[in-house]
């Protein structure tokens, strides 16, 4: 006597039934990455997952995160790791075989010397983008200082001709533009400087909040 027909979705006889594995979508990172998020970035699949490579990847990512690392920068950071790893590989081959190798025309420079120099230059060029070298960090600090000095100069220029007493001035929006009017003078309303405009706008907001 035959039993009920086996369902097509049933497991074959002699095999264990396994539930389908649920694939978890990776989290989408936005904005500047924190040091913790950078340290948790997965290692590129093209490299061996050894302890030394993992430590090198963690060092590169955490150092880069100190200079406003974005998710879109991660592929370039992976190129830096690959170049660094291949540079180390070429150096190991040169150390094992020697700087000179035999050929049909006699001794010749090891071809890995050129590869070692190429990968070193590529890694240095990519490291400059993330301020991962002393030279790049000094250049970045100089740019930050220069930007702060420009901002201070701009603020000083905006503060010129701003009266200490704002009671004689009022502001209003005319044709979509905030216009300043001096009530103590018989002048037509005109746009004022940005610093005076921001002060009057803040004054209007405070008066509106207290009403």
Instruction: Render pLDDT for 37-49 as a digit per residue (tens, 0 to 9).
Output: 998 999 988 899 9
Q: What is the mean pLDDT of the chain?
A: 76
- The number of domains in the chain is 2
The pLDDT confidence band at residue 206, using thresholds 50, 70 and 90, is confident
Q: Residue 97: CB partners within 8 Å, gap ≥ 6?
A: 110, 112
Evaluate whether residue 9 is within a structural domain. no
Instruction: Render pLDDT for 87-100 as a digit per residue (tens, 0 to 9).
Output: 999 999 999 999 99
pLDDT at 17: 55
Same domain, yes or no: 188 and 122: no
Same domain, yes or no: 113 and 43: yes
Same domain, yes or no: 189 and 109: no
- Residue 30 predicted with pLDDT over 50: yes
DSSP 71: G
- Residue 61 predicted with pLDDT over 70: yes
Report residue 152 as tokens. Answer: 């201070």
Say which residue, 10 or 157, is predicted with more confidence: 157
Domain region containing 185: 169-210
Evaluate whether residue 50 is within a structural domain. yes
Evaluate whether residue 61 is within a structural domain. yes
Instruction: Render pLDDT for 70-91 as a digit per residue (tens, 0 to 9).
Output: 999 999 999 999 999 999 999 9
- Residue 116 predicted with pLDDT over 50: yes
Domain boundary among 89, 115, 134: 134
In terms of DSSP H, where are the helices of 47-165? 51-65, 74-97, 111-129, 134-158
Same domain, yes or no: 52 and 129: yes
Q: How far, CA to CA in Å, does 108 sit from each of 55, 56, 111, 186?
A: 36, 33, 9, 90
Across 106-110, 143-147, 206-210, least confident range: 206-210
Evaluate whether residue 115 is within a structural domain. yes
Question: Does pTM surpass 0.75?
Answer: no
pLDDT at 142: 78
Report which secondary-structure segment, H or E, holds 118. Answer: helix 111-129
The three-class DSSP label of residue 179 is: strand
Evaluate whether residue 3 is within a structural domain. no
Evaluate whether residue 120 is within a structural domain. yes
The pLDDT confidence band at residue 13, using thresholds 50, 70 and 90, is low
Instruction: Render pLDDT for 143-192 as a digit per residue (tens, 0 to 9).
Output: 777 777 887 777 666 655 555 555 555 555 444 454 555 554 444 444 44
């Amino acid at each position: 006597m035959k039993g009920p027909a086996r369902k097509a979705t049933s497991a074959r006889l002699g095999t264990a039934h396994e539930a389908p594995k649920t694939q978890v979508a990776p989290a989408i990172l936005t904005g500047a990455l924190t040091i913790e998020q950078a340290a948790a970035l997965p290692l590129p699949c093209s490299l061996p997952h050894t302890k030394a490579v993992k430590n090198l990847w963690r060092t590169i990512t955490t150092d880069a995160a100190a200079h406003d690392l974005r998710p879109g920068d991660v592929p370039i950071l992976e190129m830096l790791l690959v170049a660094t790893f291949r540079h180390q590989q070429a150096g190991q081959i040169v150390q094992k075989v020697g700087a000179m190798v035999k050929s049909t025309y006699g001794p010749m420079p090891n071809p890995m010397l050129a590869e070692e120099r190429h990968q070193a230059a590529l890694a240095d060029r990519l490291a400059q983008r993330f301020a991962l070298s002393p030279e790049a960090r000094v250049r970045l600090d100089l740019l930050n200082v220069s930007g702060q000095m420009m901002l201070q100069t701009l603020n000083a220029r905006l503060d010129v001709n701003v009266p200490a007493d704002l009671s004689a001035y009022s502001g209003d929006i005319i044709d979509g533009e905030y216009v300043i009017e001096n009530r103590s003078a018989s002048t037509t309303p005109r746009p004022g400087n940005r610093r005076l405009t921001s002060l009057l706008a803040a004054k209007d907001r405070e008066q509106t909040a207290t009403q």
